[in-house]
Amino acid sequence: MEYAVIMAGGTGKRLWPLSRKTRPKQVLQILDGQTLLRRCFDRLLPIFDARNIIVLTNAAYADLVRENLPELPADNVIAEPAVRDTAGAIGLAATVLAKFHPDASMAVVTADQIIEPAELLQQALKDALQFINDNPDKMITFGIQPTFPSTLLGYVKCGDSHKSPGCHNEIYTVEAFVEKPDEGTARKYLDSQQYLWNSGMFVWKAKTILANLEKFLPDATEPLAKIRADWDGPDQQQTLAEYFVKLPKISIDYAVMEKAQGVHGIRLDCRWLDLGSFAALADIITADENNNIVVAGASRLLDCTGSIVVTEEKGHLIAAIGLENVIIAHSADATLVCPADQAHRLKELLELISKHGRDEFL
């Protein structure tokens, strides 16, 4: 049995005030009225039955996810009672799948990525599932063909490639996972053509990732065993709440992928973007004649250049005069105005808002 697991737990603080603690970036309707979560789900439907797609999300977002994906069975939304990074989330999903389908194959994708054309990812997922079903002790990651020397992304170093039966894409051996490099190192990675951006997407057998978690993250073994024992029973939610918080807070890369043997990769030469900031909108929204990025039902910009204007409120007019390289982000109860080159200080701003006792705006 083949499943897809969508990781949809992030908050997206760099998109405040649109993204909030109770309304994460993956359900913002800023992509022609669609959400990132919806687009991710639609990319998977040609490969997976909706009943075989699971969404892992923060407990506060569970109802929003169900509202955004009404065709998804309600029980396929797994609400995490605490933030435990990707190792805990993936361990939970694998535990649930392995309980009911011991030989389950699972593809792990994230809800906040833009991937175009979708067909390239779909073929890569099919190939990865074929490879994993033929080689159940192996694991697959997906590397993105880099287009510039990014210092904000991790990298995957690839070795030799080979053709695997039934696969269109070549399968690479993975020699190393590398953390975010400095600019000089990133340029060397780009020039070598051996390094790919780490996409954070994977395919493996549920039992295989659980075996690797037991080996490399033994502190996760008992909590996951307790959750497995009570899952689908009267104590499911109580046990989940009690033991999920005991899982180590660590990424799957640090916990497993950097240490495991038998990791392989598939190269994706596609348009790929993690929508993590307002500046990233410039990569997906066509600018106007003055290089402004506008996502708004109504706006009037007079002598503005290089600015970003965004709101989900179609009936709200945003008007501005003489702005240059400024961000305006409007929501129903809060508005952000800042120079584009100061957007990295959003975390600092949110801490200031909290310090003054206005957490209702966070």
CATH code: domain of residue 201: 3.90.550.10
Q: What pLDDT, on a 0 to 100 scale, did the predictor assign at position 15? A: 86
Q: How much is the pLDDT for 153? A: 86
pLDDT the model gives residue 257? 94
Residues 127 and 168 in one domain: yes
pLDDT of residue 20: 82
Let me know whether 299 and 326 are in one domain. Answer: yes
Give the whole-angstrom CA distance, residue 95 versus residue 206.
7
pLDDT at 304: 96
User: How sure is the predictor about 18, in pLDDT bands with cuts at 50, 70 and 90?
Assistant: confident
pLDDT for residue 97 is more than 90 = yes
Of 107-116, 185-194, 210-219, which one has max mean pLDDT? 210-219
- Residues 6 or more apart whose Cβ sits within 8 Å of residue 82: 244, 245
Q: Alpha helix (H) ranges present in the chain? A: 36-44, 62-68, 85-100, 118-134, 183-192, 206-216, 221-230, 236-243, 252, 346-355
d(CA 251, CA 231): 24
The average pLDDT across 14-39 equals 82
> Same structural domain for residues 247 and 262?
yes
Note the pLDDT of residue 40: 94
Same domain, 303 and 187: no
Q: What is the model's pLDDT at position 155?
A: 92
Do 116 and 211 belong to one domain? Answer: yes
CA distance 291 to 111: 28
Residue 311, domain extent: 279-361
- Do 211 and 324 lie in one domain? The reply is no
120 forms beta bridges with: none
Identify whether residues 212 and 107 lie together within a single domain: yes
* Mean pLDDT, the chain, whole residue set: 91
Tokens standing for residue 203: 């395919």
Please state the separation of Cα 287 from the chain's center in Å. Answer: 25
Least confident stretch, 66-75, 101-110, 260-269, 341-350: 341-350
Residue 124 and residue 252 in one domain:
yes
Q: Higher model confidence: residue 72 or residue 13?
A: 72
Number of domain units in the chain: 2
**pLDDT-above-70 percentage for the chain:** 99
| Amino acid 32: pLDDT | 72
**115 shares a domain with 256:** yes
Share of the chain above pLDDT 90, in %: 67
pLDDT for residue 152: 81
Residues 307 and 260 in one domain: no
Give mean pLDDT, residues 247-255. Answer: 94
What pLDDT was estimated at residue 362? 83
Confirm if 158 and 173 have CB atoms less than 8 A apart: yes
What is the per-residue pLDDT across 312-330, written as a single tens digit (0 to 9) for each? 888 889 999 999 999 999 9
* pLDDT 10s digits, 255-312: 999 999 999 999 999 888 877 778 878 777 889 999 999 988 889 999 999 999 988 8
DSSP labels, 327-344: EEEE-SS-EEEEEGGGGG
User: For residues 141 and 37, what is the distance between their CA atoms, to the nearest angstrom?
Assistant: 21
Instruction: Single out the residue in 227, 256, 274 at which a domain terminates.
Output: 274
**pLDDT band at residue 114 using 50, 70 and 90 as cut-offs:** confident
Task: Please identify, among 243, 274, 305, the residue that sits at the C-terminal boundary of a domain.
Answer: 274
Q: Above 80 in pLDDT, residue 11?
A: no
Residue 146 confidence (pLDDT) above 80: yes
Q: Is the pLDDT of residue 26 over 90?
A: no
Domain end marker among 241, 274, 307: 274
Q: Are residues 265 and 329 in the same domain?
A: no
What is the predicted pLDDT for the residue at 29? 78
**Residues 97, 64 within the same domain:** yes
